[in-house]
Amino acid sequence: MDSFSTLIRTASQEQHVEAETSTFMSDLLGGRLGVDAYARYTEQLWFVYEALEAGAERLASDPVAGPFVRPELFRLAALERDLEHLRGPGWRATLNALPATRRYADRVRECAERWPGGYVAHHYTRYLGDLSGGQIIRDKAEKTWGFERKGDGVRFYVFEGIANPAAFKRGYRELLDAVNADELERQRIVAECKRAFALNTAVFRALGEEFPLSA
């Protein structure tokens, strides 16, 4: 039987391709969008990580979610530095969530408060993605909009406390395989992971509508 980390990856593979090839992501990675689109996207991430990390401290002692809560993953401070760079010192006053982002963050918060297994699904979907494809986005963003390498504007993608991302991901998959959940709960976690991907894709769709290409 496949390990849980393999199961969760293969179960979300199709949706991963969908997120990766969404119009907004394709345009972003294709260098076809202005820095304002990137800033708007970064703002949306702020709401998601605020929801993920506000509940993290309380979950640190939870038997299911606790092992996943690692301070070296926390992204909110990095996002805030990026937003200050992208939007200026008044970034907080104009920060606002798209309805799709609101739905995503609400679901993350709900899981953080009531269902540790669901929180693990959201945790996996974001942080393992950021450690993987996030690096491709960073590289592209640096080249397209001229951010300093690993500097302000792309700090979200730079995990300063993780020297070896490949090793960290291996360790993370071991945590998934050992997650304190029975078969049924594992199935529910996989289903929540799919939901997490769908929530992400909905945000991309909304961003795509906000930043259509004229060409």
**Of 7, 9, 100, 111, which lies in the binding site for ligand HEM, with binding defined by CB under 6 A?**
9
Residue 143 CB partners (closer than 8 Å, separation 6+): 31
Tell me if 10 contacts ligand HEM by CB under 6 A.
no
Site for ligand HEM in 124-183 (CB under 6 A): 124-126, 128-129, 132-133, 136, 169
Instruction: Annotate each residue in 26-45 with x if it binds ligand HEM (CB under 6 A) or - if it does not, as one string.
Output: ---x----------------
Q: How many residues bind ligand HEM (CB under 6 A)?
A: 17
Residues contacting residue 30 through CB under 8 Å, at least 6 positions apart: none
Distance CA 158, CA 140 (A): 14
Q: Which segment (12-20, 51-59, 112-120, 179-187) binds ligand HEM by CB under 6 A? A: 12-20
Distance in angstroms (rounded) separating the CA atoms of residues 61 and 41: 32
Binding flag, residue 189, ligand HEM (CB under 6 A): no
Give the span between the Cα atoms of 121 and 157, in whole angstroms.
Answer: 20
Q: Is the dihedral of CA 86, 92, 97, 98 positive or negative?
A: negative
Least Å from the CB of residue 49 to ligand HEM: 12
CB neighbours of residue 210 within 10 Å: 13
Rule CB under 6 A: choose which of 7, 25, 59, 73 binds ligand HEM: 25
Instruction: By CB under 6 A, tell whether 67 contacts ligand HEM.
Output: no
What are 104's two structure tokens?
């995503």
Element containing residue 183 per DSSP (H, E): helix 183-210
Binding site for ligand HEM (CB under 6 A): 9, 16, 19-20, 25, 29, 124-126, 128-129, 132-133, 136, 169, 197, 200
